[in-house]
Structures are given as structure tokens and as C-alpha cells.
Structure 1
Amino acid sequence: MWLGKGKHFLSFPVRSGELINYVGFVPADAEMKESWSAPGDPDVLSREFDGWDPRIGMLLSEVDKTFRWALYDREPLPIWTRGRLTLLGDAAHPMLPHLGQGANQSIEDGMALATILARATRANVPAALLAYERLRRERVAAVQRGARENGMRYDSSYADLGVRDAEISAHAAFRRRLYDHDVVPEAQAAAISLG
């Protein structure tokens, strides 16, 4: 990952190292349509990172097709559950990608929901869904805040980059708690409390 003023670049191997995935995060002047497949211009992306590490230039010189998508920062819905219907994942709490946690939090939601519903009866399903929402709300809000804050770090939104670097180092403890979290015991306790 390369960090710079107002933008950053991330790359990593995929498909057992056969391919390199990359993302260039840059500010946009124009409002963008929400899309995962809007075409981009490889030359425009390459110019955004002129003068950066030559490895970025080498990687981008191999690119012949790019996609553009905007990042929209949204608050979680105030209510996820109504009666016998509930939401999970991005439908309830969309996340910026700066912690790589959108899919992970959806999986945690699914595990919590399945664990709680496994002990629910037909009569207490609405209460079980509310218990799931209560269980997940605080954690996903903390992860959303962490993703926002990390995006600011990555885009070097600091007068003193030493402060940014210290925060990135200190952020390791947050990441450990993030990655070591096991939602199942909490969900089991929430299910038991339903009676």
C-alpha cells in the first residue's frame, strides 16, 4: 500500500499469485453514478500516480482496462428489523473499504442471525431478530468508524504525518480485536436470553 496526500494505492496478489489486484483511491471532481462496472481510463489512473513509486507505474503500464466507482459513506439504518423481517450486511450498515470488512461483517451478521434463529421458536422470531440487531449494532458501528478513520489516515489528511504513522502503528490493536472476534458465543448468549 502506498499513501499520499488525498489518495492511496493498494495492490495484492490473487488467484495464487497469477494476477495482481489493485485499487487506486483518488478524489473525483464530478459526481459519479453508482456502479461497479463504469469504464475508466487507464491513462487517467496512471497520471494520478505519476511520480510515485516506480512499481505502481510498472503495474499500471500493464493495465488495458479499468473500472471506476465512487465511495459513498452512509450511516447504518436506524432500524434493521420490523416484525419477521431483518436486514444484514451492507443493507443494514454499508461500509467504506478501508478496513476490508464489508463482507466480513456480513458473514458475522449471518453467523449471529443463524445462531440466534437456531434456538428461536415460531412465536419468538420477532424477538430473536431484535436480539440479533441489538447484538450487532454496536460492533458494526465501531467497524464503520474505523473504516472512515483509516481512510483519512491512508489519504494522509494530517498536517503532521508522524501523527498519522503513529496512529497506523497503534491501529494494530484495533485490527487484532477486529480479526479475533468470534460472534458465535455472544449470539448463543443472546439466544439463551430469549428463553
Structure 2
Amino acid sequence: MTTRKVKYIIVFVYFCSFFLYSQEKHCITFTDNTCACKSCDTDYYSYTDIDVYKIDTIHYTQKEFKASFYPCGDGEKGDNFFLLDTVAHFLPKKIKKKVHNYYRKKGLDTTAYLFIQEKDSFPAVVLEKNASFIKRMCKKTKLEMKKNVIATALVFSIFIKGEIYHQIVVEKLKEQ
């Protein structure tokens, strides 16, 4: 095999692995083997200009998926970040408000749901009222080790003119 062919093979393998990584990074596969894709072809800020008044309906389904996190800090208040292997889409402010209002009317608890925030260029989950959960998890595992959990995802499908325009995944952690 010539050196040129070897170089082409290395480049091909590199691009294939990069493509697979980017797909894994942006898509969640649920335990029922269905998927919710979040911004596979676009960047994180592409949906900030959605006109909320054009939205016909918002449907939601609740699903579970497997995830891993790395605990940060010692579990005290303020040390409330877990780095997830799965990257969830940022919720634009207009849509976040619309979604909040929607499931508040349905009687769903909004305080426990976790929204994605960027911290030091890593995707991180903000745990609003789960300090005791963090403390228990940090006692059970070394801080540098990753811990597998089952996450519950509330998937909101936004419909405009009868077609799915975008899906928002809101994640909630629970102990495995």
C-alpha cells in the first residue's frame, strides 16, 4: 500500500469519527429507541428569532434516556453543575417563556426541570432545587469519576402551520 493511500484512509477514518461524534453529541436516543434531534445541522443560536405568535400548537411527551454526568464541587449550594455527555439544546428566552406557560397550565412542576447553560464552553445542567441530590451523589462516587443516570426528557414539539418546526428537550435527572 502506498503512503498516499494510507494518508487517504487516515483522513477518511478521521472524518467518519468526527461525523459520528457530532451526531452523538447533538441527538438523544431514548430508552424506547426513538430519537429527538437537536440542532444537528445548525448552531445553538439558530432558533432565537422564532415568532412565538406563529406557533399553532405545542405537544409534549415525556421519555427516558441514559446519560452520564461528572459531579463538580462538594455538593453545597452553588456547586450545582453536572457535565452531561449528552448535549441539550439551549432554550431561547421567548420559547422558554412559552413552554413554561404551557406546562404550568397543564399542572406540571416547573421547578424541578433542568435547563442547559454553558459554563466554560462545556454543556452543563443547572440544578435549581436539587442540592440534597447532589450531596448524595457526591458521597457515593469520587468527584473525578463519571456516574450513569437515567434522565427524564420532556420533549416539546413546536408546530407551525401543522408541521413540526422545532423540538425542545427539557431534562430532569433522577437516581438510577
Larger radius of gyration: 1
TM score, norm. by length of structure 2: 0.24
Q: Give the TM-score taking structure 1 as reference length.
A: 0.22
Of the two structures, which has the highest relative contact order with CA contacts closer than 8 Å and spacing of 6 or more?
Answer: 2
Which one has a larger percent strand, Structure 1 or Structure 2?
A: 2
